[in-house]
């Protein structure tokens, strides 16, 4: 009986390893296909002339139709992980809310697994917010590492994240990250590993501070998405275009900025969200909430992560993908923006001036269900 039991264990282990290997190969192939689509993005839109005399494409996006097109109905034949495995890189002593908001938002609209890689100080706090998140206390800040140990510790941190990298369908870098120099150096290496594995990267919050000072991390990577607010956008424009923000030519300047960073997709947050990959400029003007509580950008990052994942996970499966000729990162931005704005509007209907980010998160599921019923 012991022999049979041992043989059964070996057989089970072999099957598990084969499944894990097959899943890894499938993930690699999906990301390669996704990268090809991102590089070949583009769509026919009306032409807009900028004040500089340059012609470009601009359109008010049909965000609701796009969201419907790329969101599948639930399929009982699928297993855990097939609706997305995402990771958030962020969370330090001072900032624990932002990574939670991003990670839980992805789960609230349908992701199966959501990881957070944060510092040891932040981990217990983030874990206490929700048992749904998988929290990795692996990041380190300068105060906890001696000078002579930094190289060794940095290599250990990067290796710890990298061993999970092939499992992830998308990364968001920046929520609650802080600006500790050693921590930012480690995250730079993590971004390089993600790019090497063709993992889509959403950069928000302090991740944008890092990118503004190290443009090579995202330059020329079509699966990179930057989501700056007013001040973060101003810093990018000053760094890359060497000028000030020109709202009179907002579309032209955004397109130029995306081109100068090598065709990344940029979502400029504002009264209307402007989205460009350098070839087109889309705007999303769906009414949201006049209450501008902190943390909504983190919801956007988490929502965008899942929408991006759904595009290449379900492409060619449950639903016809009516927008298959479009850049998937642009579509993800449009859909994520629309979803957040509708959820914020729903939350404001009830909470008015007391609306908080947690209220908006609770409305994400209803917002998505109203547009894309689960069945």
Indicate the annotated binding residues: 176, 229-235, 269-273, 288-298
- DSSP character string of 310-327: HHHHSTTSSS--TTTTS-
- Rounded CA-CA distance 219/243 in Å is 19
Q: What are phi and psi of 273, to 5 degrees?
A: -75, 130
Q: How would you classify residue 57: left for phi > 0, otherwise alpha for psi between -120 and 50, otherwise beta?
A: beta
User: Which strands, in side-by-side order, build the sheet including 113-119?
Assistant: 47-49, 55-60, 280-284, 273-276, 265-268, 224-226, 201-203, 170-173, 85-89, 113-119, 134-139
Which residues fall in the annotated binding site for (6S)-NADPHX?
A: 176, 229-235, 298
* Structure token digits, residue 173: 């870098």
Beta-ladder partners of 87:
115, 171
156, 262, 272 from 14: Cα distances, Å? 29, 44, 53
**Binding site residue list for ATP:** 269-273, 288-297
Q: If DSSP codes are grouped into helix, strand and coil, which group holds residue 226?
A: strand
CA 239/CA 245 separation, integer angstroms: 11
> Which of 239, 237, 312 shows the shortest CA–CA distance to 274?
237
What is the distance, to the nearest Å, from the Cα of residue 198 to the centroid of all Cα atoms in its chain? Answer: 14
**Residues 15, 19, 21, CA angle at the centre, nearest 5°?**
115
Phi-psi region of 220 (alpha: psi -120 to 50; beta: other; left: phi over 0): left
The candidate with the shortest Cα–Cα distance to 157, out of 172, 178, 142, 170, is 142
């Amino acid at each position: 009986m012991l022999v049979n039991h041992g043989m059964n264990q070996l057989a089970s282990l072999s099957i598990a390893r084969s499944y894990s290997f097959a899943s890894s190969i499938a993930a690699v192939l999906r990301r390669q296909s996704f990268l090809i689509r991102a590089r070949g993005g583009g769509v026919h839109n009306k032409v807009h002339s900028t004040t500089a005399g340059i012609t470009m494409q601009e359109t008010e996006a049909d965000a609701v139709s796009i969201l419907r097109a790329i969101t599948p109905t639930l399929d009982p034949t699928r297993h855990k992980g097939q609706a997305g495995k995402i990771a958030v890189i962020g969370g330090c002593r001072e900032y624990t809310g932002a990574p939670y908001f991003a990670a839980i938002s992805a789960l609230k609209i349908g992701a199966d697994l959501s990881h957070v890689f944060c510092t040891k100080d932040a981990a217990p706090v983030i874990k206490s917010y929700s048992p749904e998140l998988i929290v990795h206390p692996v990041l380190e800040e300068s105060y906890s590492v001696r000078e002579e140990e930094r190289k060794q510790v940095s290599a250990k941190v990067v290796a710890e994240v990298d061993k999970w990298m092939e499992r992830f369908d998308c990364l968001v870098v920046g929520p609650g990250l802080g600006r500790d120099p050693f921590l930012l150096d480690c995250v730079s290496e993590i971004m390089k590993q993600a790019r090497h594995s063709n993992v889509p990267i959403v950069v928000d919050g302090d991740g944008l501070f890092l990118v503004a000072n190290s443009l090579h991390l995202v330059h020329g990577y079509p699966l990179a998405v930057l989501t700056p607010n007013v001040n973060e956008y101003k810093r990018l424009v000053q760094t890359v275009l060497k000028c000030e923000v020109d709202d009179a030519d907002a579309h032209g300047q955004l397109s130029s900025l995306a081109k100068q960073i090598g065709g990344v997709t940029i979502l400029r947050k504002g009264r209307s969200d402007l989205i460009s990959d350098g070839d087109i400029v889309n705007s999303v003007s769906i009414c949201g909430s006049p209450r501008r509580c902190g943390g909504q950008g983190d919801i956007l990052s988490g929502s965008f992560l899942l929408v991006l994942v759904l595009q290449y996970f379900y492409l060619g499966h449950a639903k016809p993908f009516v927008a298959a000729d479009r850049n998937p990162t642009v579509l993800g931005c449009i859909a994520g923006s629309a979803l957040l704005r509708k959820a914020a509007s729903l939350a404001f209907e009830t909470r008015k001036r007391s609306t908080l980010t947690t209220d908006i998160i609770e409305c994400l599921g209803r917002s998505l269900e109203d547009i894309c019923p689960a069945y």
